Structure 1
């Protein structure tokens, strides 16, 4: 008698990175989130970030792997820990991985006790994550319904260079909604004033966020999240981390590197100065003034086949609960993790130092 073996087949699809490192990756982001949670609401964003980085680095260096930070806290001379190019792990075992990391996405949110901050990380096999500079990326993020619609309707695709209305209409068709029913998340920045106006004039609704558009990007691939699209220029690291999750979930991201001075409409003198300062580093990564404007899709940002992703909330999130501290080092955290096999987990973890002092409650 036959019976479905769907779960077995999904588990069998998991690569060595997913099998061996995803359970530990969850612990890495949860450790960093708990460390940051102790600084929640204290008004010191730099220290909150510092403790999250330190906790994450300690945990990474306990993993049997040879890891290289491809997206990190900045360049080596700007970040004391988890800088781009840093090698982490014990060096033991056969796993060689590229890593994208943001120990505390939304430092201001944590410092002020505002919803939306997370500790997040992605890994893939060597060469599986875009080695990007610490500048901006202009992007569009959509969920798997849009990808399916594009496949079924050749010629109707979202386009980073298309008018805002065009992209909204594609998403509306894919979701079988009206444009008026769409919600677009965008960072609340002066550089986005025109784009926000265009979104509203097209009839869609805008959800402004003060910081942290990474998890809204992931939310576009989760039905019921109430977020249908993310647009605008933000950190390149956040775009790559979004790409890791959105690739696993079947969604799509289009992005383009952009210098902050260009994105923010600064003077040509300031743009030239930034080009002079940053282009030598970008050229070492294979990025020139000629290809700087190339559109990077999901597979260019995360070309890996064995990709894992974990995000743990620090403050309340779009679909994750915040860290709860019980005292004495005990904590409860909520994490979303996933791998290329298609397995997605929502983990509710409780860390108890002494079970006699802290009984477990449902």
Structure 2
């Protein structure tokens, strides 16, 4: 009898979305990353994002599925964004999927040639991805060691409202480390000044990122990445994409929706203006002002069972190598992809347009 953890058994656990779409999803993020890489360092973040969006949309519309964008880059009238509610795919077949996209996470990073920009996407069955507004989420992300520790010690759990030191001590115990050995990634924003101070006062080390805390969140579930925890308020879409990967990898995310004006400590007048502007749309999504305070865990952000995720680096990442461009349109890209079956792939892809002109190098 084969061992239950054999590759055959894992493939048997793969749902139809993973089985049919994950191999193609890799091509989608790789195409977007290559398109963006041609704009790397040119200083125009909007055009870099535009070409990544256009490439991703074209590739998505070649897939035999009925897809709806649940986490996108904007509203219907904000072309050329892959907007929330947009329908993609050929419409052929019976696969109905919800999609979360960020064609170019870290637009500033790409435009300035800095590390950390990626093309990223997740899919799940209908109803399997949180349908949320394009505002902020305050979050904590940790890896599977912490999840296991919480199961063994039910009275010790990370908590979005707990003191920073308390959460750090739980993570340290789960990893068998001292707090002083932990690395916490957080966006370098004025709104995080107090939290950064508290992390340092607790003894942990801080790694500030100017943009892009999605992949650091994924990295918490990868041993050897050097990242043990992600904290702070960032984009809600990025939080949901993080949740898709972290669910597959066995980690944990806790998040709460928060209006940008609140997160950034604006005046009561500015907060009220944003409430009046955004709440009508949020209420259509079933999110009332009171529900903004709800804590959303991994399962609420990504309740789907047949979940897939792919991310391709544009510039050097926390554990992915940058897209490299060669003469004549050839490119080499590095991708992480995964599905709910537990299969995780690091793919080193080389695209050669003219095999007679361009030899393949190791």
Deviations 1:245-275, CA, capped at 9 Å, x for gaps: 0000000000000000000000000000000
**Aligned residue in 2 for 1:174:** 174
Aligned match of 2:148: 148
Match of 2:231, SS state, is strand
How far did 1:78 drift?
Answer: 2.8
Partner of 1:283, secondary structure, is helix
CA contact (8 A) 1:40 1:112 kept: yes
Match of 2:334 in 1: 334
Q: Distance in 1 between matches of 2:125 and 2:53?
A: 22
Is 1:195 the counterpart of 2:181? The answer is no
Is the counterpart of residue 351 in structure 1 residue 348 in structure 2? no
Task: Give the Cα separation in 2 of the matches to 1:13 and 1:328.
Answer: 41
- Superposed CA RMSD in Å reads 0.7
Q: Does 1:54 align with 2:54?
A: yes
CA distance in 2: counterparts of 1:78 and 1:4, whole angstroms: 51
Q: Verify the 8 A CA contact 2:54 2:80 in the aligned structure 1.
A: no
Residue segments in structure 1 that go unaligned for 5+ positions in a row = none
SS of equivalent to 1:355 = coil
Q: TM-score, normalising length from structure 1?
A: 0.99
Deviation at 1:3, TM superposition (A): 5.2
Aligned-partner Cα distance in 2 for 1:13–1:283: 37
Report the Cα offset of residue 155 of structure 1.
1.2
The answer to whether the 8 Å contact 1:73/1:79 transfers is: no
Distance 1:47 1:82 in 2: 14
C-alpha distance after superposition, 1:97-123 (max 9, x if no partner): 000000000000000000000000000
Show structure 2 runs of 5+ residues with no match.
none
Query: Which residue does 1:252 correspond to in 2?
Result: 252
Moved more, 4-13 or 276-285: 4-13
Q: Name the structure 2 match of 1:103.
A: 103
Using the TM superposition, give the Cα deviation of residue 8 of structure 1 relative to its aligned residue in structure 2, in angstroms: 1.1
Q: Is the 8 A contact 2:50 2:80 kept in 1?
A: no
Change over 3 Å in CA distance of 1:131–1:355 after alignment to 2: same
C-alpha deviation, 1:4, in angstroms: 3.4
SS at match of 1:291: helix
Equivalent residue, structure 1, for 2:206: 206
CA deviation vs aligned residue, 1:184-223 (integer Å, no higher than 9, x gap): 0000000000000000000000000000000000000000
Cα distance in 1 for partners of 2:237, 2:219 equals 17
Distance in 2 separating the partners of 1:3 and 1:337? 26
| CA positional deviation for 1:77 | 2.4
C-alpha distance in 2 between matches for 1:9 and 1:305 = 17
The residue aligned with 1:297 is 297
User: Where does residue 273 of structure 1 map in the other structure?
Assistant: 273
**SS of equivalent to 1:139:** strand
Q: Distance in 1 between matches of 2:157 and 2:138?
A: 17
- Tell me which residue corresponds to 2:119: 119
Report the counterpart of residue 238 of structure 2 in structure 1: 238
The 8 Å contact of residues 56 and 103 in structure 2, kept in 1 or not, is answered as: yes
Counterparts of 1:249 and 1:4, CA distance in 2: 21
Determine helix, strand or coil for the equivalent of 2:333: strand
Q: Distance in 2 between matches of 1:244 and 1:316?
A: 22
Cα shift at 1:327: 1.5
Runs of 4+ in 1 over 3 A off after TM superposition: 2-5
Instruction: Determine the C-alpha separation between the residues in 2 that align with 1:104 and 1:314.
Output: 8
Whether the 8 Å CA contact 1:57–1:81 is kept in 2: the answer is no
CA–CA separation in structure 2 for the residues paired with 1:190 and 1:289: 25
- TM-score with structure 2 setting the length: 0.99
C-alpha separation between the residues in 2 aligned to 1:112 and 1:140?
28
Q: Is the 8 A contact 2:252 2:298 kept in 1?
A: yes
Alignment correspondent of 2:75:
75
